[in-house]
Structure 1
Amino acid sequence: MPLLERKGRQLTLTEAGRVLVSSAERIFAEVEQAKTELAHLRDGVEGAVQLASFPSVSRLAVPQALAFCVNEGRPVEIGLHEMEAHESLPALRRGEIDLALVDEYDPLPALVEPGTEFTPLFSEQMYLVLPTKHPLAQRALPLTAYAAEPWLTCQVGTLCHAGMVSACADAGFTPEIAYMSNDFTVLLAMIEAGLGIGFVPAITIAQTRYDVRCLMLAERPLRRRISVAVRSAARSRPTLRRLINAFTAVTANLDDTFRLGTYRCGPG
């Protein structure tokens, strides 16, 4: 019985394929529930939690959350995997990881993933960052004023890249992208060297010292939202619940903590 059929240039599931996928999802949910019940019987003793995260939030939240669990007398062992949201959510769905710290960007729509629950942690401003001596660096201008500049951004496929391109499109232009990296500290170093401009989250700017100018756009500012994702069927597992609570606690006061305004982010 065929599970796939070709429609034009695309392969889609047949009715039998859809039934099989639905059955697999139910079985997977039952396995998750069994893991949860066994964990309760073992008084919460579980193996390492497989956690997906990305550099800017890993530096900020992961050590603090683990320390929080230690201070509560219930340490958690983790395996840390560096992944962006477009990689971690499919891995979460496949059961390869247990939790994922994910980022979303306005003006993009909120993430929706079947069988997955998102716990919001904090949101922050994305600042437009320019070299200090750039002629447009003295004050924030409409985004269109920067249309001719070379841009630096995260890799194609990331929500960060999509959010930046969407913000520029809303302003009426397509950015010329000169360099891409998923490490915001690399982008800051390249901006400091005069290689372009780009959006960088406030927490990364606050944690580093680069000689750059940070501008908060007045019109339709780009924002980043951070949340922790877990499979719905696994949410009540004691170790996962403990780690989610720890992330919530250590990020509770971070919403817009890093308000920089127009700021020279470095010496001088």
Structure 2
Amino acid sequence: MDLSLPRLRMLRELHRRGTITAAATALHYTASAVSQQLAQLERDVGARLFERRGRRVQLTDLGVLLAEHAEEILSSVERATQALEEAGESVTAKLTAGVWASVASGLLPDALNSLARTHPGVEVRTRELAPEATAAAVRDGALDLSFVIDYSNYPMTWDPGLERAVIAVERLYAAVPAGVVPAASVMLAELAEQPWILSPPRSHFGHAARLACQSAGFEPRVVHEVEEQATAMAMVAAGLGVTLVSDLGLALRPPAVDIIALGDALTRTVSVASRTNTARRAALLLVVDAVRTSATEKGLGADSPVPAPAVPEDPTPEVPAAPGVS
């Protein structure tokens, strides 16, 4: 009997998630591809692993038994891979990391270039996901590591099967159309009458931003819901509202946007999440060290105290206030 590891991984996900569609989404395959591979696994085993219950597929007792063994097999393969990496004279590994836009543009380029020079055998591939989805993808084995965030007013629920290494601490700023806020700093309450551009409340950032506004005594009037800081700032530049932006997001700022320090202290912590049984993996530790160094060089090191909010130097010429914005 020849048991394919990718097919066992699909079986494990089906057992965990209950539907082929959910398993396919977690593994970044189509439902049709997963269904075909599971049918082939059943032929490989020579016994029924699944049965149809209406439109759903349910594991038979034998299917459940094999899925439980799949957990052990895949964990053993992971441990063997880690042992082989550590036994060599130099570290060689391929890792997949979950990222989002500001991390991918603000931290990874310097970190991965440095890693390529010092440890060319470590290859890091990235997959962009919503920050809320990256930790689950690590837990389920779809990623080796991911970047996750905690806001000072909204820490995330932590999975005991994961470990995290703190990488950076970012401040949040107000991003407003040029000329709208003439002061060097602003309290959130002073922006209560402005239209807001925020990510949806289901996102960590959108929820944390709304909580901050509520703590300042108002409910933000959100006129545009967008996912990315770059998109939000482009809309700010057009005079459509105000938003919040983190240190790493400042590199994405277009002209006609002023960055104003917040009097209401609001920070977020960027960490790398990995599974507990692989957290000491040599290649993973090298990636964490490279990214942490990149953050420190940008003044965002987690070991340094967070400085008082300051207005970042404006890299663009002064631009007149956007028309129609008061």
TM-score of the aligned structures, taking structure 1 as reference length: 0.80
**Structure 2 counterparts to residues 1-268 of structure 1, below 5 A:** 27=72, 30-41=76-87, 46-134=92-180, 136-206=181-251, 208-219=253-264, 221-253=265-297, 254-255=299-300, 260-261=310-311, 266-268=316-318
8 Å CA contact retained: 1:44, 1:239? no
CA offset at residue 209 of structure 1?
4.2
Please state which structure has a larger fraction of its residues in helix: 2
Amino acid at match of 1:225: T
Write out per-residue CA displacement over residues 215-251 of structure 1, whole angstroms, 9 at most, x where no aligned residue: 21223x2212111111111122222122112112222
CA offset at residue 199 of structure 1?
0.3
Q: Give the number of equivalent residue pairs.
A: 247
Amino acid at match of 1:203: L
CA offset at residue 49 of structure 1?
0.8
Deviates more, 1:258-267 or 1:191-200: 258-267
Deviates more, 1:88-97 or 1:247-256: 247-256
Inter-CA distance 117–108: structure 2 relative to 1 (3 Å threshold): same
Aligned-partner Cα distance in 1 for 2:69–2:294 = 36
Amino acid at match of 2:218: F
Amino acid at match of 2:270: I
Write out per-residue CA displacement over residues 85-126 of structure 1, whole angstroms, 9 at most, x where no aligned residue: 311111100000001012221211255221111111111211
Q: Which residue of 2 aligns with 1:12?
A: none
Q: Which residue of 1 aligns with 2:20?
A: none
Amino acid at match of 2:283: T
8 Å CA contact retained: 2:199, 2:228? yes
Write out per-residue CA displacement over residues 37-57 of structure 1, whole angstroms, 9 at most, x where no aligned residue: 233345566552111111111
Aligned-partner Cα distance in 2 for 1:41–1:103 = 33
Give the root-mean-square deviation of aligned CA atoms: 2.9
Aligned-partner Cα distance in 1 for 2:286–2:111 = 10
Structure ID, larger Rg:
2
Aligned-partner Cα distance in 1 for 2:122–2:291 = 12
Inter-CA distance 265–183: structure 2 relative to 1 (3 Å threshold): farther
8 Å CA contact retained: 1:125, 1:202? yes
Identity score, percent: 24
Aligned-partner Cα distance in 1 for 2:104–2:111 = 10
Aligned-partner Cα distance in 2 for 1:189–1:212 = 8
Aligned-partner Cα distance in 2 for 1:155–1:75 = 40
Q: Which residue of 1 aligns with 2:324?
A: none
CA offset at residue 260 of structure 1?
4.1
Amino acid at match of 2:316: G
Gaps of 5+ in 2: 1-15, 17-64, 301-305, 319-326
Gaps of 5+ in 1: 4-19
8 Å CA contact retained: 2:209, 2:244? yes
8 Å CA contact retained: 2:261, 2:309? no
Write out per-residue CA displacement over residues 157-192 of structure 1, whole angstroms, 9 at most, x where no aligned residue: 221111101101111222121112232121111101
Aligned-partner Cα distance in 1 for 2:142–2:90 = 20
